[in-house]
């Protein structure tokens, strides 16, 4: 059995199962169930000291009794990837318990000819998928043998590719037993990120960042892939999961084109790693939200 190790445990989050379980319980307990059951969520992938509490607001919307399969779409931080890639692993380890990969869905996706395979080193180096695994394990713990995961590494897609992958995955979106986790942080601000957009009319820098992020969040809530692409072109906001978000919006658009329009997305929490006051500062923003399909 090829298993992907929890390579970021012990640094980005605790490698103690009992401590991790307590932390996640505490964060989930502080979040409200207000926009569920989620068919898709957007949640951050930074170290848990920075974004663990924020991520809980997305995972609180998940209905574990319904979910049988979880697709995790994470951006590629280390390898250049023109399309999307699947995992060669059979299971993913977490400090809580191992998560089983859905090899049947992997085979279905491979048949489309649109997916490559990431090797184990790429998989273990990448944090954008791993940071969601403890939360998934936690919310699904009462059903731990009854669900599978489908990790998908998303490359630097152009808008047409986002639409194409969205359309391809839209049939899976329609199934209420599937959950899509869209892994993304929001603005990476500061000289170390080569991004220092500042609208001085907002007052302090962190308010300018918040306004910029919330503009993007409003556009995502409008579920318009075209408007999101235009927003990114205009401001170049450093939203690292913009391509996974684009794929989600592409799936929604494909379903709307088929006449299904009873979907609503809502952001439930916004946070920043620190509040930037001057041009030497830096911060990363986090946002958690949920996509609901009305019956």
Spatial contact of 283 and 198, defined as CB atoms under 8 Å apart: no
**70 — pLDDT class (breaks 50, 70, 90):** very high
Provide mean pLDDT across the span 217-227.
98
Give the start-to-end residue ranges of the domains of the chain. 3-293
Is the pLDDT reported for residue 163 higher than 80? yes
pTM recorded for the entire structure:
0.96
**6 — pLDDT class (breaks 50, 70, 90):** confident
pLDDT on residue 58: 98
Other C-beta atoms lying within 10 Å of the C-beta of residue 80:
7
54-69 confidence digits (pLDDT tens): 999 999 999 999 999 9
Q: Supply the CATH classification number for the domain 3-293.
A: 3.40.830.10
How far, in Å, CA of 71 to CA of 180, rounded?
5
Closest CA to 191 of 280, 284, 286: 280
Between vectors from CA 233 to CA 228 and to CA 236, what angle results, nearest 5°?
Answer: 100
pLDDT on residue 205: 97
Provide mean pLDDT across the span 276-290.
96
């Amino acid at each position: 059995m090829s298993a992907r190790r929890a390579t970021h445990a012990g640094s980005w989050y605790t490698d103690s199962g009992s401590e991790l379980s307590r932390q996640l319980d505490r964060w989930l307990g502080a979040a409200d169930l207000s926009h569920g059951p989620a068919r898709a969520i957007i949640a951050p992938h930074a170290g848990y000291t920075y974004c663990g509490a924020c991520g809980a607001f997305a995972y609180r919307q998940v209905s574990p009794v319904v979910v049988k399969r979880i697709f995790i779409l994470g951006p590629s931080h280390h390898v250049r990837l023109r399309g999307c890639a699947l995992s060669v692993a059979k299971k993913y380890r977490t400090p809580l318990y191992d998560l089983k990969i859905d090899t049947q869905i992997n085979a279905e996706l491979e048949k489309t000819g649109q997916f490559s395979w990431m090797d184990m080193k790429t998989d273990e180096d990448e944090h954008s998928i791993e940071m969601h695994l403890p939360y998934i394990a936690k919310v699904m713990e009462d059903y731990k043998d009854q669900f599978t995961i489908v990790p998908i590494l998303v490359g630097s897609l152009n808008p047409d590719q986002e639409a194409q992958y969205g359309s391809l995955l839209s049939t899976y979106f329609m199934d209420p037993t599937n959950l899509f986790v869209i892994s993304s942080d929001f603005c990476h601000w500061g000289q170390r990120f080569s991004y220092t957009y500042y609208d001085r009319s907002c007052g302090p820098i962190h308010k300018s960042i918040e306004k910029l992020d919330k503009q993007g969040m409003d556009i995502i809530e409008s579920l318009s892939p075209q408007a999101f692409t235009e927003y990114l072109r205009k401001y170049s906001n450093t939203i690292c999961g913009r391509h996974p978000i684009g794929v989600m919006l592409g799936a929604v658009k494909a379903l709307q084109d088929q006449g299904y329009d009873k979907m609503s997305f809502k952001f439930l929490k916004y946070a920043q790693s620190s509040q930037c006051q001057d041009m030497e500062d830096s911060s990363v923003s986090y946002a958690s939200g949920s996509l609901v399909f009305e019956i």
